[in-house]
Amino acid sequence: MNYSSYIALIPLLPMAAFVLLGLFGRKYFNKSAGIIGTGLLLISTVLSIYTAYQYFFVDGKVGDTYQTITALKFTWLSFSDTVSIDMGIILDPISVMMLVVVTFVSLMVHIFSLGYMKGEERFATYYAFLGLFTFSMLGLVVSSNLFQIYMFWELVGASSYLLIGYYYQKPSAVAASKKAFIVTRFADLGFLIGILILAFYGESLDFNTIIQNLTAQQSSQFVAITSASFIGVSAITWGLTMVFMGGAGKSAMFPFHIWLPDAMEGPTPVSALIHAATMVVAGVYLVARLFPLFAINETALSIVRIVGVVSALFAAIIACTQTDIKRVLAYSTMSQIGYMMFALGVSGNGGEDGLGYTASMFHLFTHAFFKSLLFLGAGAVIHLVHSNDMKDMGGLRKYMPITHATFLIACLAIAGVPPFAGFFSKEEILLAAYNSSMIVYAIALLTSGLTAFYMFRLYFSIFWNKASSPLERTGGEAHNDHGEGTFSMKLPLIFLAVCTIGVGFIPFGHFVSTDGKVLETPFHLMFSIAPVAIGLAGIGIAMYLFLYENECPEKYSKKLGGFYRAAHRKFYIDEVYLFITKKVVFNLIGRPAVWIDRNIVDGLMNGIAATTAKVSGLIKGIQSGKIQNYTLYFFAGIGSLLIVFIYLWKQ
């Protein structure tokens, strides 16, 4: 089966939606923009599911190994015979999986937004941006080379910027969008350097060629990249670490995570799509894409592992103390991506060792469903309550039965309660960590307990906690006129809830593994006792503290004292950044640079201009406009020429 006949349509249809709605949307289709965007994306979704079916069940396998298929490839920029930049589409297990995830979640978000964003003035613009984002993300996952992935990487960054700043009248949204852009941009600088290093030594931009060149122990490229070094670290470690820096920026890993909580200023469905399910896992995807390279370099892999573990634990602690429901979810996302990262970090390449890789991709897959479900549920709650803060909520279960049920399913999934999706994927990650290192396993276990605790803190605070709902307390019956939301808002919740229950049973190791072969992931009953017990304990504590309104949470947070306050203030990371940028960078780099610019660069130019003006002022008197002066000069000239030629110019 030839994929190239339709594969390009998958990213191009959302692009078409972007162009159409971006150019003509506000004028002609402001009402129908949602339907147009959703319709085009629906076709894309169907095509990607068909592609996945074709790839996984019909012709992706040769023998017992999944092949990497180049479905489309053309040279985009040709610099010389050997150096060129291609554009292409490759299909391998992870890119096909991502195609399905991105189109499906994006479709759910498109449908949800039909109700959520109804009546917005820039409705068409919103759908145009969503189309742009979906296009870029799809382009990113099918990229066949480093340069192409970098371009789409920046495009998702730009569309994320546009969507976070969608409510551009709000100063906080503008600040958040700038922060997201600048922080990820800064990390992308590392990515670019990494690309240049890898491409320089790998002598190609193409993923397959680079991996082939740099993993073969005898190849000249491998020898070159391992023997070249900079401050005692070999070039390959530098390259991979720099690439990982870009991935960490996009995936909001510590210490580049600061933009993610603020990015919650965007519309909630956008948070579900970009900042939970798709864009933020791009970093994980990137590491997975280059995994054969990471696997041969222990240093780079251990950086991935450490950053992942630290982010997972760190974010989980902060999430326990936040009161803005979207921020809790944002930190939870960061924590779960930390899981995916360290799962890659503990993985080996090939065979049984590759369990971490499979587990990471599996968690990415399940996380996309339950986290977007959580965000969309939170969106429905915010739509009803018109507030992000937990203390404005409570007792909502009677008002929004469907949201309540689906939210509960998602919370159980993320807490790792069987038989929901999160249980299976987290189980595999923990197993991979257990096989690799006890410390990582212990931290991961602790984090999973914290995860259960903060998710159920969130759940109880929204739907239980108070006897009466906020709507009754404020007498806000007027709020209640739209009830739980339109049908278009409930439908995605139900779809995603079904997926959240179902996808855990997919034997993921059969499809995605490091070497393309089937990886059996046996289910150990004994092993899963500890995580489930810890998860249930977390739920129990949350229930004790938050099921009904009581004094306990207050009391315990007082007891924790300084630690609680530090966690509540997000461990002062933002302040540290502000200090570094304002006090150190501005004073030591910014100000001298400005001084040099103003005084030396500008001064040079101004000096040249001023000198010219002065000289011309001095000599302009010659051009007096008086004809007799001119004749005088004329005769004086002739006179002096005569003197020269008659008396001085002797042979």
Partner 1 sequence: MSEVPLSHILFVSTALFFTGMYGLFTRRNLITMLMSIELMLNSVNINFVAFNKYLYPEKLDGIFFTIFIITIAAAEAAVAIAIIINLYRSHHSIDVEDATEMKY
Rounded to a whole number of angstroms, the minimum distance from the CB of residue 643 to partner 1 is 17
Out of 632, 636, 642, 643, the only residue in the binding site for partner 1 (CB under 8 A) is 632
Q: Which stretch binds partner 1 (CB under 8 A): 269-277, 438-446, 454-462, 629-637?
A: 629-637
Instruction: Please provide residue 145's backbone torsions phi and psi, each rounded to the nearest 5 degrees.
Output: -145, 165
Q: Which is nearer to partner 1, 475 or 621 (CB)?
A: 621
Rounded to a whole number of angstroms, the minimum distance from the CB of residue 625 to partner 1 is 3
Rounded to a whole number of angstroms, the minimum distance from the CB of residue 618 to partner 1 is 12
Q: Which is nearer to partner 1, 522 or 625 (CB)?
A: 625
Rounded to a whole number of angstroms, the minimum distance from the CB of residue 608 to partner 1 is 21
Question: What Å distances lie between residue 355 and 15, 284, 317, CA to CA?
Answer: 36, 15, 27
Q: Which is nearer to partner 1, 527 or 630 (CB)?
A: 630
Q: Does 628 bind partner 1 (CB under 8 A)?
A: yes
Rounded to a whole number of angstroms, the minimum distance from the CB of residue 155 to partner 1 is 56
Single out the residue of 299, 286, 91 nearest to residue 195, CA to CA.
286
Alpha helices in 298-324 (DSSP H): 298-319
**Measured distance CA(615)–CA(596) in Å, rounded:** 27
**Measured distance CA(531)–CA(424) in Å, rounded:** 11
Q: Which stretch binds partner 1 (CB under 8 A): 229-237, 320-328, 333-341, 621-629?
A: 621-629
Q: Which is nearer to partner 1, 172 or 629 (CB)?
A: 629
Region class of 572: left (phi > 0), else alpha (psi between -120 and 50), else beta: left
# binding residues, partner 1 (CB under 8 A): 11
Q: Which is nearer to partner 1, 46 or 641 (CB)?
A: 641
Rounded to a whole number of angstroms, the minimum distance from the CB of residue 636 to partner 1 is 11
Q: Which stretch binds partner 1 (CB under 8 A): 240-248, 483-491, 562-570, 628-636?
A: 628-636
| Site pattern 279..308 for partner 1 (x: CB under 8 A) | ------------------------------
Q: Which is nearer to partner 1, 75 or 624 (CB)?
A: 624
State which of positions 429-448 bind partner 1 (CB under 8 A).
none
Q: Which is nearer to partner 1, 627 or 648 (CB)?
A: 627
Q: Does 614 bind partner 1 (CB under 8 A)?
A: no
Q: Which stretch binds partner 1 (CB under 8 A): 2-10, 301-309, 365-373, 623-631?
A: 623-631
Rounded to a whole number of angstroms, the minimum distance from the CB of residue 611 to partner 1 is 18
**How long, in residues, is the chain?**
651
Q: Which is nearer to partner 1, 46 or 613 (CB)?
A: 613
Rounded to a whole number of angstroms, the minimum distance from the CB of residue 122 to partner 1 is 57
State which of positions 148-187 bind partner 1 (CB under 8 A).
none
Q: Which is nearer to partner 1, 584 or 632 (CB)?
A: 632
**Measured distance CA(215)–CA(201) in Å, rounded:** 12
Buried/exposed code over 292-314 (b: 16+ C-beta within 10 A; e: otherwise):
bbbbbbeebbebbbebbbbbbbb
Single out the residue of 621, 648, 646, 649 nearest to residue 633, CA to CA.
621
291 within 8 A of 346, measured Cβ to Cβ: no
Out of 302, 612, 624, 640, the only residue in the binding site for partner 1 (CB under 8 A) is 624
**Measured distance CA(204)–CA(444) in Å, rounded:** 38
Amino acid at position 29, single letter: F
Rounded to a whole number of angstroms, the minimum distance from the CB of residue 646 to partner 1 is 16
- Based on C-alpha coordinates, what's the Rg of the chain? 30
Rounded to a whole number of angstroms, the minimum distance from the CB of residue 642 to partner 1 is 13
The DSSP letter of residue 167 is S
3-state SS assignment for residue 466: coil
Q: Does 612 bind partner 1 (CB under 8 A)?
A: no
Q: Which is nearer to partner 1, 526 or 622 (CB)?
A: 622
Q: Does 636 bind partner 1 (CB under 8 A)?
A: no
Q: Which is nearer to partner 1, 216 or 641 (CB)?
A: 641
Out of 74, 475, 625, 647, the only residue in the binding site for partner 1 (CB under 8 A) is 625
Q: Which is nearer to partner 1, 217 or 623 (CB)?
A: 623
The DSSP letter of residue 206 is B
3-state secondary structure 421-456: HHHHHHHHHHHHHHHHCHHHHHHHHHHHHHHHHHHH
Q: Which stretch binds partner 1 (CB under 8 A): 88-96, 176-184, 314-322, 619-627?
A: 619-627
User: For residue 204, what are the contacts with CB-CB under 8 A and spacing of at least 6?
Assistant: 145, 210, 213
Rounded to a whole number of angstroms, the minimum distance from the CB of residue 640 to partner 1 is 16
Q: Which is nearer to partner 1, 614 or 626 (CB)?
A: 626
Report CA 531 to chain centroid distance, whole Å.
28
Out of 27, 558, 626, 650, the only residue in the binding site for partner 1 (CB under 8 A) is 626
260 within 8 A of 237, measured Cβ to Cβ: no
Q: Which is nearer to partner 1, 556 or 633 (CB)?
A: 633
Rounded to a whole number of angstroms, the minimum distance from the CB of residue 185 to partner 1 is 52
Q: Which is nearer to partner 1, 615 or 632 (CB)?
A: 632
Can the peptide bond before residue 11 be classed as cis, meaning omega within 30 degrees of 0? Answer: no
User: For residue 504, what are the contacts with CB-CB under 8 A and spacing of at least 6?
Assistant: 366, 413, 419, 420, 421, 422, 423, 424, 425
Structure tokens at 466: 């108070």
Out of 2, 80, 169, 623, the only residue in the binding site for partner 1 (CB under 8 A) is 623
312 within 8 A of 440, measured Cβ to Cβ: no
Out of 5, 220, 550, 631, the only residue in the binding site for partner 1 (CB under 8 A) is 631
Q: Does 621 bind partner 1 (CB under 8 A)?
A: yes
State which of positions 447-486 bind partner 1 (CB under 8 A).
none
**Measured distance CA(279)–CA(368) in Å, rounded:** 10
Q: Which is nearer to partner 1, 562 or 625 (CB)?
A: 625
Buried/exposed code over 541-576 (b: 16+ C-beta within 10 A; e: otherwise):
bbbebbeeeeeebeeebeeeeeebeebeebeeeeee
Out of 481, 620, 647, 648, the only residue in the binding site for partner 1 (CB under 8 A) is 620
Alpha helices in 525-648 (DSSP H): 529-546, 552-560, 562-568, 573-578, 591-595, 602-619, 627-643
Chain contacts with partner 1 (rule: CB under 8 A): 620-621, 623-628, 631-632, 635
